[in-house]
Amino acid sequence: MIYLKTDEEIELLRENNLLVSETLAEVGRHIRPGVTTKELDSIAEEFIRSHGAVPAFLGYQGFPASLCISVNEQVVHGIPSSTCVLKEGDIVSVDCGTFMKGFVGDSAYTFAVGEVAEEVRRLMTVTKEALYKGTAQAKAGNRVGDVSAAVQEHAESFGYGVVRELEGHGLGRKMHEDPGVPNYGARGRGPLLKEGMVICIEPMINMGTRTVVFERDGWTVRTRDRKPAAHYEFAVAIRKDGPDVLTDFSIIEQAINN
Ligand code: MG
Ligand code: MG
């Protein structure tokens, strides 16, 4: 069941997703060698609560933290830990959710820890570009497959692996609504995008094989070949005249470039 949102509901989703962007910016300011992923999680939880929201991931299907923090070969759903210490050259994908005024925010960003290898920097850049290319297709009259194919084609043109097991989703009063938004697919296929739909587009792109392993902690997903993966996520409202991106990466990028 796909729920179409009113303009008022889209504004509440925008409020949530801007808070997620601000939270990711706050986390980004603290990312440096020596910090633990648990410390980053605490910073995010306090920031979210101090802005009148609740961390949407905490307790979701039993998830034990406010952020998913996935380092290097971890693709998504990494659990913050006091023993996971970031070091120079790591990349760290941070996925954040909020719940406020009856609606959910959900976005993700991959950060560099200090200087990272050139090939890793390229993976980050291409994954973000894949998100932008998918987002450009997120307009009324297109289909989910148009978004999916745009993401897949860009990532695969660099020889990267596109994760199949996890996908984007509708966003609203619940974190995961219909439709599913895969990062691979065929143009002109899948559900029709209509004005008032809100979807999360979230490419998970691996430097090597697309195959992933689900770790025994019940959450963490990592690349089988242990090469790095990147993950960026936008919440996007579908409008007649094009995509209305509810997430704001410029807040994050201003924070980390200072
Ligand atoms: Mg997310
Ligand atoms: Mg999501």
Model confidence over 7-51: pLDDT tens digits? 999 999 999 999 999 999 999 999 999 999 999 999 999 999 999
Q: What is the pLDDT of residue 30?
A: 98
3-class secondary structure, 63: coil
167 alpha carbon to ligand 2 midpoint, in Å?
8
Query: In what side-by-side order are the strands of the sheet with 74-76?
Result: 74-76, 221-223, 212-214
Helix (H, G, I), strand (E, B) or coil at 201: strand
Q: Give the amino acid at 55.
A: P
Look at residue 161 and give its three-state secondary structure.
strand
Q: CA 98 to CA 19: how far, in whole Å?
A: 8
Separation of 28 CA from ligand 2 center, angstroms?
19
The dihedral built from the CA positions of residue 208, 235, 241 and 239, taken in this order, carries a sign that is: positive
CA 85 to ligand 1 centroid distance, Å: 22
CA torsion angle 198 42 167 256 (round to 10): 80
Q: How far is the CA of 77 from the centre of ligand 1 (A)?
A: 9
User: Is the pLDDT assigned to residue 258 strictly greater than 90?
Assistant: no
Q: What is the distance between the alpha carbons of residues 92 and 125, in angstroms, rounded to a whole number?
A: 14
Tokens 């090469």 belong to 227
Q: What is the mean pLDDT of residues 132-145?
A: 98
Question: How far apart are alpha carbons 117 and 126 in whole angstroms?
Answer: 14
CA of 151 to the centre of ligand 1 (A): 17
Neighbouring C-alpha atoms within 13 Å toward the C-beta of 152: 17
Query: Considering every ligand atom, which ligand is closest to the CA of 68?
Result: 1
Q: Which pLDDT band, with edges at 50, 70 and 90, does 124 fall under?
A: very high
* Residue 33 CA, ligand 1 centroid: distance in Å: 24
pLDDT, average across residues 229-258:
96
- 61-106: pLDDT as tens digits: 999 999 999 999 999 999 999 999 999 999 999 999 999 999 999 9
Per-residue pLDDT, averaged over 163-180, amounts to 98
What percent of the chain stands above pLDDT 70?
A: 100
Q: Residue 184: its pLDDT value, please? A: 98
Q: What is the pTM of this model?
A: 0.98
Q: Tell me the pLDDT tens digit for each residue of 208-238.
A: 999 999 999 999 999 999 999 999 999 999 9
* Amino acid at position 156, single letter: E
